[in-house]
Amino acid sequence: MFNRSLHLILVSSLLFINSANANSVTVELAWELDGLSNPESVIYDSQLNHLYVSNINGGPNDKDGNGFISIVSMDGRIINEKWMTGLNAPKGLAIYDRTLYIADIDELIAINIDNGRIINKYKVDDAKFLNDVTTTDNGDIYVSDMVLNRVHKLTGNDFQIWIESDELESPNGLHFTEDDIIVGAWGEMTDGFATEVAGHLKRISLKTKKISSIGDGSPVGNLDGVEGNDEIGFYVTDWLNGGLFHVSAKGIVTSLLELDQGSADIEYLHKKKLLFLPMMNDNKLFAYKVK
C-alpha cells in the first residue's frame, strides 16, 4: 500500500516523452465518495443518469459471495449500496441494451437493469481472472482474462475465446473504439502480480486481430482502466503504483495524478468532461473535471 497524498501534478518526466509535445490536459477533483467496499469498476447509465460501481468486498479471486453492485448519483451520493448482491469478486462493467454485464472471476454475468435480475451467466471453465468488459456498437461483448492472456467474445449467447496471445502481456483494461479494442496491458507477470517491465497501451484490430502498440511500446505502468479514443487520447490508470495518465494516439504519455495503490477501472464521459475513478484499496470513488 502506498501512503502518498492525493494531489494534482503537471510534470514532464524522464520516464515519458516531453510533455511539451503532449496534449494539454488537466483534471480537478469534483467530489469523492467514501464507504464503498473494494470498488473496482464504474460505469454510467445514460438513461437513469447514475453510476454503477462494482464492489469486490474481499479478495479479488475469492468465491465468497460477498461482492455487490452499488448505485451512485452523479453528485457522489450512494443511492442503493447493494442494488445487486450475491456476486463473488465483480470487476469490469459494460452496458448494452439495458443489460449490465459483469466480469466475476470465471463468469460473465448479465443483469436486466430494469428489474435488477440476473438473466444469464456465461461460465469459462478454465478462466483464471476475468477482468474488464467492453461492448461494441453492435452488442458484441469482450472480456479480458488477465492471467491467461485472453480476450473472450460474447455474440448472442455464444461465448468463446476471441484471441489468446502472449503479445497481450496480461490484458487488464479493455475499451472499444471504432475499429479496435484498446487494451491496457499490465505487463508480463513474474511473481504474483509483480512485473519486471510494466505494461503499455495496445490495440487489437477488430477485423484482423492484429496486435500493435500505441506508441513505441515503452513501459507506462501496470495498467487497469482505459477510456477515450484516438481523437482525444486515452485516460489510463496504473493500479500497482497508483496514478492516472493521459496517452495520446501517438503514445505520448502525460502524468495527471499520483494516487495510492489501487487506482482501478475508470469511466470517462467526454460530453460532460467528467472522469470517475474507483480507488479499490481506499474504498473510495473519485470524480474529476477534465479540462
**What mean pLDDT is predicted for residues 122-137?**
97
Locate the domains of the chain by residue range.
7-290
For residue 186, give the nearest of 200, 202, 176, 203 by alpha carbon: 200
Grid coordinates of 139? 452488442
Grid coordinates of 174? 479493455
Helix (H, G, I), strand (E, B) or coil at 41: strand
Task: Give backbone dihedrals phi and psi of 54, rounded to 5 degrees, phi first.
Answer: -85, 130
Specify the pairing of strand 39-45 against strand 141-145: unpaired
pLDDT at 8: 31
**Residue-wise pLDDT tens digits, 21-53:** 345 899 999 999 999 999 999 999 999 999 999
In angstroms, the first-to-last Cα distance of the chain is 29
The whole-angstrom separation of Cα 291 and Cα 285 is 19
C-alpha distances out from residue 74 to 78, 81, 95, 144, 233, Å: 10, 14, 17, 28, 24
pLDDT at 123: 97
The whole-angstrom separation of Cα 188 and Cα 194 is 8
Q: 7-290 has which fold?
A: Neuraminidase (2.120.10)
pLDDT band at 201, cuts 50/70/90?
very high
